[in-house]
């Protein structure tokens, strides 16, 4: 496993830390590919809840910009998009609950990863953005559906259509965040919440999570926005210009 991701287990609480503070925890292709396996490892080691967090002053700033600039054809564009999408789906459908512990920037793929988690607890210094429209990129229906399910239509439209950056208070008011706390209270708040989850009966939690996800009414993996359209958006001249590639 890359040192860009670290994991630990404290009792029955697993932690996955994005460890690239020098680039605000941008998530590389290697990291996207590694996350599902790290989650599986923690589950096998006895975790009953997993917490995602970022080292330093950011949760995660999205996909690695240098890798996006280096996309040189359909194969590399498809590989990056599928690794990102598979990571979201693994988190969303994972057997045990997941918590995004958010401080600082939670942007792009980092925000979409947090949205795939079951719970989001943030400090008041956090902010959120998914600037795909500004970059000329497309997303699939399920990824967008999770944004709507978590924060509602206004939340999704402000992030995706207007490419707005949203502060934590606004995100909390729209229901996207489960808790909003002072910076110094974030560790304790997440720890107490995770501990409460871990004390519940695992089989009941797993069944309830599965039923809630079904009730969320997300579309199937097939999407009106096709895989080919999404891959093509990574190859578009407008995207290349806007990421500086």
CATH number (domain holding residue 117): 3.90.226.10
Residue 194: inside a domain: no
List, for residues 6-41, the tens digit of each pLDDT value: 999 999 999 999 999 999 999 999 999 999 999 999
pLDDT of residue 222: 59
174 has pLDDT over 60: yes
For the beta sheet containing 166-167, the strands, ordered from the edge strand earlier in sequence to the opposite edge, are 58-60, 105-107, 127-129, 166-167
Structural domain harbouring 61: 5-184
Beta strand 166-167 pairing with 127-129: antiparallel
- Contact call for residues 117 and 94 (beta carbons, < 8 A): no
Residues 6 or more apart whose CB falls under 8 angstroms from that of 141 comprise 218, 219, 223, 224, 225
Over residues 147-169, mean pLDDT: 96
Rounded to whole angstroms, the Cα distance separating 245 from 239 reads 8
Over residues 87-97, mean pLDDT: 97
The mean predicted confidence, pLDDT, of the chain is 94
Percent pLDDT > 90 in the chain is 90
List, for residues 225-244, the tens digit of each pLDDT value: 788 999 999 999 999 898 87
Residue 46 tokens, joined: 């006895």
Q: DSSP letters along the chain, please?
A: --TTEEEEEETTEEEEEE--GGGTT-B-HHHHHHHHHHHHHHHHTT-SEEEEEESTTEEE--B-HHHHHT--SHHHHHHHHHHHHHHHHHHHT-SS-EEEEE-SEEETHHHHHHHHSSEEEEETT-EEE-THHHHT----HHHHHHHHHHHHHHHHHHHHTS---EEHHHHHHTT--SEEE-GGGHHHHHHHHHHHHHTS-HHHHHHHHHHHHHHTT---S--SS-HHHHHHHHH-HHHHHHHT-
Residue 134: inside a domain: yes
pLDDT of residue 221: 65
49 has pLDDT over 60: yes
pLDDT of residue 217: 87
Over residues 178-205, mean pLDDT: 97
Kindly list the distances between the CA atom of residue 147 and the CA atoms of 7, 100, 140, in Å, as whole numbers in the listed order.
26, 14, 11
Residues 6 or more apart whose CB falls under 8 angstroms from that of 196 comprise none
Instruction: Name the domain count of the chain.
Output: 1
Residue 70: inside a domain: yes
Residue 133 tokens, joined: 């429209």
Residue 103: inside a domain: yes
List, for residues 53-70, the tens digit of each pLDDT value: 999 999 999 999 899 999
The residue to which tokens 């934590």 are assigned: 168
> What is the reported pTM?
0.95
145 has pLDDT over 60: yes
């Amino acid at each position: 496993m890359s040192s860009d991701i670290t994991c630990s287990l404290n009792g029955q609480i697993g932690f996955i830390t994005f460890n690239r503070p020098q680039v605000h925890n941008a998530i590389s292709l290697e990291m996207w590919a590694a996350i599902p396996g790290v989650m599986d490892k923690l589950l096998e080691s006895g975790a009953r809840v997993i917490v995602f967090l970022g080292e330093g002053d950011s949760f995660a700033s999205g996909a690695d910009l240098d890798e996006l600039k280096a996309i040189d054809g359909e194969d590399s564009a498809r590989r990056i998009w599928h690794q990102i999408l598979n990571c979201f789906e693994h988190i969303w459908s994972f057997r045990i609950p997941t918590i995004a512990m958010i401080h600082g920037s939670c942007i792009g793929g980092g925000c979409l990863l947090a949205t795939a988690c079951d719970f989001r607890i943030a400090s008041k210094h956090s902010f959120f953005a998914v600037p795909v429209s500004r970059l000329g990129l497309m997303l699939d229906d399920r990824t967008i559906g999770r944004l709507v399910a978590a924060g509602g239509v206004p939340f999704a439209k402000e992030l995706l259509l207007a490419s707005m950056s949203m502060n934590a208070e606004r995100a909390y008011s729209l229901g996207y965040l489960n808790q909003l706390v002072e910076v110094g209270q974030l560790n304790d708040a997440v720890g107490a919440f995770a501990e409460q989850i871990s004390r519940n009966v695992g089989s009941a939690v797993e069944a309830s999570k599965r039923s809630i996800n079904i009730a969320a009414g997300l579309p199937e993996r097939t999407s009106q926005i096709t895989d080919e359209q999404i891959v093509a958006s990574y190859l578009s001249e407008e995207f290349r210009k806007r990421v500086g590639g």
